[in-house]
Structure 1
Amino acid sequence: MTQLIQTKEIQYKDSTGQTLIGYLAYPENTSQAPGILVCPEWWGRNDYIERRARELAEQGYVALAIDMYGDKKLAVDADTAGKYMMSTFENPATIVDRATAAYQTLVAQNNVNADKVAAIGFCYGGKVALDLARSGANLKVVATFHANLSAQQPAQAGKFTAEVLVAHGADDSMVSLNDVENFKQEMTAAQVKYSVDIYPNTKHGFTNPVADEKAAKYGTDLAYNPESEKQAIAKLYDLLKRTFA
């Protein structure tokens, strides 16, 4: 049974003073609910990521769709998306700094249980969620979908506290199966509990219904796969339910 929800924008700042504008979705009349950070694809905090936050709120979670570019900037095309994303790599601290600011904002909400927090991410947002966990944030779950799995600072045993779920397409040309194997080795070395699901006949961007439109428009190797999406999102909710029961 889905719950009635409320939504609002919420402003916060990173350590440099950059204004970030998140989108908070939460069930009505709830207290001490688990909190979920929703980390966006390279397009920015767009309608797709906001929809994911609302879906989580309908299931009883307080979800914050986060702003990684500042001032709620959205990329209007692939070139702009690439420039915005790469700007967060120029200073090695930026990704974790902005994700940490979002995390602190989420746990400060009076309807969030600060000991029950997860981070999920799509594409670039998967890296954001993973790097936040690698930094030692008190996360219980990290889930990624067609994600960049690379690490600026590899996970360390005892510092990475989350259980990890990775959903990856077998035909993803942007993140190779070799990248996935390297990620598995990183997680194993850090003694992290994780699972990796490889979906057959599935490309990058498979959870996003507009992936095919963007592939045609920008000449990128994306494709929506509704069956893989359904299975991957179901596994996310199973993990959240088990962890936060």
Structure 2
Amino acid sequence: MAKGDIVTREVTYPGRACALKSYVAEPASAETSPAVIVVQEWWGLNEHIRDIARRLAREGYFAIAPDLYSRQGHKVATDPNEAARLMGGLNKADGIADLQTTVEWLRAQKQTHSTRIGITGFCMGGSYALLLPCESKEISAAAPFYGEIPADEKLERLNCPIFYAYGENDGWIQRADVERLIAALKKFNKQGEVKIYKGCSHGFFNDTRADVYRPEEAKDAWERTLKLFAANLKG
């Protein structure tokens, strides 16, 4: 079996309000692996998010991408208006609850119950990837990409090191909030790196979107994410 071989599967487990569906990618040969939760963009659990889970599995992680639209019938959007409607229909507390359920499911698996858990997310998912470690002590590293910045009273409770990726031309996330995150990390003595990528727009990591994708910057952000996870989840 070649290094980097992975297996993938769909899993379903009970959530607070409905059955949650998730996509799992894991190393084919590992008995135990550190886990990483991959949180979707506003489009839903699409092929791009599944591909990110597979990339992480090839790096030795048990990657799980929960469908945060499970409560809305597991929908996947391609139209921005539909994506906005779906995102608007997801109460933030419900999203956090479903992520916490995913953590509980991970803890029940023999491959991950004794390992550390990381989280990454993009756009809407980046918001959850930064918020969850402010709400849960189960997260050991977080790599949010261009997500909303929680209030300082939540950032004060941040429980793990982070890497936050942001494009300077982002039309959704305000630069002032990103500067506030930088200041909060210092003020509250939290471990973290914030990287502002010149000339990049919101979604610059998404290689399925030619209008915003920036390959060199995406490669750099991915390498920093892997470095963060290796330092805090492995060993």
Partner of 1:88: 90
5+ unaligned residues in a row in structure 1: which ranges? 214-222
Residue 109 in 1 paired to residue 98 in 2? no
Q: Match of 1:142, as an amino acid?
A: A
Contact map agreement 2:33 2:115 (CA 8 A) in 1: no
Partner of 1:130: 130
Deviations 1:168-198 (A, max 9, x none): 1111111121110122334344432111011
Q: Match of 1:39, as an amino acid?
A: V
For the residue of structure 2 that corresponds to 1:93, the secondary structure is: helix
Partner of 2:75: 73
Deviations 1:184-238 (A, max 9, x none): 334344432111011111111001112235xxxxxxxxx1100100000011111
For the residue of structure 2 that corresponds to 1:168, the secondary structure is: strand
* Deviation, structure 1 residue 37: 0.1
For the residue of structure 1 that corresponds to 2:210, the secondary structure is: helix
Q: Distance in 2 between matches of 1:153 and 1:123?
A: 22
Partner of 1:174: 172
Contact map agreement 2:32 2:115 (CA 8 A) in 1: no
Contact map agreement 1:133 1:162 (CA 8 A) in 2: yes
Contact map agreement 1:35 1:107 (CA 8 A) in 2: no
For the residue of structure 1 that corresponds to 2:129, the secondary structure is: helix
* Deviation, structure 1 residue 105: 1.6
Q: Distance in 1 between matches of 2:43 and 2:226?
A: 24
Q: Distance in 2 between matches of 1:76 and 1:150?
A: 27
Query: RMSD value over aligned CA atoms?
Result: 1.9
Q: Distance in 1 between matches of 2:132 and 2:197?
A: 25
Deviations 1:150-176 (A, max 9, x none): 35961334xx32111001111111112
Q: Distance in 1 between matches of 2:227 and 2:139?
A: 17
For the residue of structure 1 that corresponds to 2:217, the secondary structure is: helix
Matches within 5 A, 1:1-245: 2-16=3-17, 18-70=18-70, 71-89=73-91, 92-151=92-151, 154-157=154-157, 160-212=158-210, 223-243=212-232, 244-245=234-235
5+ unaligned residues in a row in structure 2: which ranges? none
Contact map agreement 1:154 1:186 (CA 8 A) in 2: no
Paired residues in the alignment total 231
Q: Distance in 2 between matches of 1:206 and 1:50?
A: 17
* Deviation, structure 1 residue 2: 4.2
Q: Match of 2:60, as an amino acid?
A: G
Contact map agreement 2:106 2:113 (CA 8 A) in 1: no
TM-score, scaled to structure 2: 0.91
Q: Distance in 1 between matches of 2:96 and 2:183?
A: 22
* Deviation, structure 1 residue 53: 0.4
The change in CA–CA distance for 1:187 and 1:12 in structure 2 (over 3 A counts) is farther
